[in-house]
Amino acid sequence: MSRHSETVRRLAAPDIRARKGGDPVVCLTAYTAPMAEILDPHCDLLLVGDSLGMVVHGMPNTVGVTLEMMILHGQAVMRGAQRAMVVVDMPFGSYESSPEQAFANASRVLKETGAQAVKVEAGPTVAPTVAFLVERGVPVMSHVGLLPQAVNIDGKFKAKGRTPEERKRIIDDARASDRAGAFAIVVEGVDESLANEITLAVKAPTIGIGASPACDGQILVVDDLLGLFDWTPKFVRRYADLKSVIGEAAQSYAQDVRSRRFPAAAETYALGGGKARRPRIAGGENQG
Ligand code: KIV
């Protein structure tokens, strides 16, 4: 992996917070070191999202993701990224029962990964936890609207803010996170008027996912943007079709191995200066 020799200053929570109402904050998820290295020059913030349970580990949702998984992937992303702020998601069950539980787990994440902040899904009861963490030196990004960790309540992922009561609750959640000191607020799966209302109501920059251009920044799951799945939500724009590219590469490789066109002499060690020779194949003719 290539590394720049000069030291690059990494963006931190105050840099992201200062972007409120300014240049849009560019965020993507990342789960591995090589991907983080590719994304780093283009992004202000990389989120080690618990979406990794679905896109990397093949889980049906994010509920089964563990703190250990988040720490492992957080360490990998920190090795790949130099300039972007790195935020690690707190997985389901690691922060909800008490502020003390949240601090014990969040401090582990910061110590063991070197990331700059954690993210929590901020339902109505979570604001005191955000304040508890921020007061103790843990920068927090909160997440309102569609809360993927609550998927079992609705039975599926669905856009939020369909009733006046739900809209009010989401705005209240965002305001409470803001007052508690969250440096940024992810807003997921809401319509433009609600995203706009939230963005105007809070001091922290809002980072939208399926939440219109009204937000102060945008985030997507990187695998969605790269076209690694057949199905992508309405709000995703696919910038590449890597699923086809990878499938075609694997097919060409398989054909070359089966027809013995791979490996060729150029891809074969000839130690001691000798010429690489094809082994004899029992019952067959050597090709090439
Ligand atoms: O887990 C995740 O990737 C997220 C983003 C979708 C914001 O929370």
> What tens-digit pLDDT sequence spans the chain (288 residues)?
455 556 789 999 999 999 999 999 999 999 999 999 999 999 999 999 999 999 999 999 999 999 999 999 999 999 999 999 999 999 999 999 999 999 999 999 999 999 999 999 998 889 999 999 999 999 999 999 999 999 998 888 888 989 999 999 999 999 999 999 999 999 999 999 999 999 999 999 999 999 999 999 999 999 999 999 877 889 999 999 999 999 999 999 999 999 999 999 999 999 876 666 666 665 544 443
Number of domains in the chain: 1
pTM of this structure: 0.92
Residue given tokens 């618990």 in the structure block: 50
Q: Which residues line ligand 1 (CB under 6 A)?
A: 29, 47, 49-51, 89, 143, 186, 209, 219, 221
Per-residue pLDDT tens over the stretch 201-243 = 999 999 999 999 999 999 999 999 999 987 788 999 999 999 9
**Is residue 278 in a domain?**
no
Catalytic residue among 37, 68, 112, 188: 188
Q: Which domain holds residue 168?
A: 3-240
> Ligand 1 centre and the CA of 209: distance in Å?
8
Which residues make Cβ contacts (< 8 Å) with residue 93, sequence separation at least 6?
Answer: none
DSSP conformational letter for 64: T
**Is residue 209 in a domain?**
yes
CATH number at residue 14: 3.20.20.60
**Predicted pLDDT at 156:** 87
Nearest C-alpha to atom 2 of ligand 1 is from which residue? 49
> Ligand 1 centre and the CA of 280: distance in Å?
53
**Is residue 145 in a domain?**
yes
Rounded CA-CA distance 15/37 in Å is 20
Q: What percent of the chain has pLDDT over 90?
A: 84
Nearest C-alpha to atom 1 of ligand 1 is from which residue? 49
Which residues make Cβ contacts (< 8 Å) with residue 117, sequence separation at least 6?
Answer: 13, 85, 86, 87, 88, 110, 138, 139, 140, 141, 183
**Is residue 260 in a domain?**
no
**Is residue 17 in a domain?**
yes
**Is residue 267 in a domain?**
no
**Is residue 254 in a domain?**
no
Residue in 89, 149, 224 to alter for ligand 1 test, most ligand atoms within 8 A of Cβ: 89
Q: Three-state SS for 55?
A: helix
* CA neighbours closer than 13 Å in the CB half-sphere of residue 63: 9
- Is 188 labeled as catalytic in the residue annotation? yes
**Predicted pLDDT at 154:** 87
Per-residue pLDDT tens over the stretch 26-40 = 999 999 999 999 999
**Is residue 90 in a domain?**
yes
Nearest C-alpha to atom 8 of ligand 1 is from which residue? 49
> Ligand 1 centre and the CA of 51: distance in Å?
6
